[in-house]
Amino acid sequence: MSKFKVTFPGNKKVDISFNNFEVKTDQAKKNEGDETAPEPFEIFLSSIAACAGIYAKSFCDTRKLDATDMHLYLEAFFKEGQKLMDQVDIMLHINQQFPEKYIKPIIKAMNGCAVKNQLHPEIKINTAVAYLAD
């Protein structure tokens, strides 16, 4: 596993270095930041989306399925009056040529996402697929 180095370049910025990569974070202006980079929680959510996305793309690549225009959206929902997530919706949009017989299997593949599977079991995950309009 990588070793992560955290530095503090100024104001509310926090940078993380590992391997040959650097991830920059900041806070929103309402939280006294400069909004020069995503907040850490946004990076956390984007890692779930990226993980589900690579599982979907790999599924297509393995079966030589056309992934043209394929994309997904992730939306997080929180407990009322709290900052704790209680639901994550992942919607994969596929082209009209995507075979219907692979809908359930690609959902199963996306549900294998290692990042998503680290979430607390009480957080409901809804993974779905929708065909893009022509």
Q: How far apart are the first and last CA of the chain?
A: 44
Query: Which residues partner with 129 through β-bridges?
Result: 92
| pLDDT tens figures, 16-70 | 999 999 999 999 999 999 999 999 999 999 999 999 999 999 999 999 999 999 9
- List the chain domain ranges: 65-131
Give the mean pLDDT of 10-17.
Answer: 98
| pTM of the model as a whole | 0.91
Q: Superfamily assignment of 65-131 in CATH?
A: K homology (KH) domain (3.30.300.20)
